Amino acid sequence: MQKLPDYRLKLAREFRQRLTDSEALLWEQLRGKRLADAKFRRQRPLGRYVADFCCDAARLVVEIDGSIHALPDQREYDKIRDDVLAAWGYRLLHVTTDEITADLPDVLSRIIAALKMK
């Protein structure tokens, strides 16, 4: 990956400052190596994309999908992003905002399982 342009770093910083409710809930569980002693970064720039959460050591990206991700244009964009990140060796785990608010323990179990799949 090449050096990130300043505008992309600024965008990631802005995303970090205004987390959605579901991002904040999940971040509380991931920050500071709280989950399976894995170091996660939030709003992690990866090339031209910004991953919601990323554990570089496990090459795992956790993406939170809200209702906008059901739109055809967004699904197409997400597919392209997922393919690019997979080509760079990242595995992607998609969770919905509804899953986080309804059953956070299950989401955390799925993340732990994905971390173990190195």
Residues 48-63: pLDDT tens digits?
Answer: 888 999 999 999 999 9
Domain of residue 16, residue span: 6-116
Question: Per-residue pLDDT for 66 more than 90?
Answer: no
If DSSP states are collapsed to H, E and C, what string results for 61-113?
EEEEECHHHHCHHHHHHHHHHHHHHHHCCCEEEEEEHHHHHHCHHHHHHHHHH
pLDDT digits (tens, 9 = 90+) for 6-30: 766 565 566 666 788 999 999 999 9
Identify the band that residue 112 occupies on the pLDDT scale cut at 50, 70 and 90: very high
Query: Which CATH number belongs to the domain containing residue 22 in this structure?
Result: 3.40.960.10
The answer as to whether 105 is a domain residue is yes
Per the structure, the count of domains in the chain is 1
Tell me whether residue 61 is in a domain.
yes
Instruction: Specify which residues 30 forms β-bridges with.
Output: none
Residue 107, burial from CB neighbour count under 10 angstroms (0-12, 13-18, 19+): buried
- pTM of the entire predicted model: 0.85
pLDDT band of residue 2 (cuts 50, 70, 90) is low
Q: Which value, to the nearest 10 degrees, does the dihedral of the CA atoms of residues 44, 47, 48, 52 take?
A: -20
Residue 1: inside a domain: no
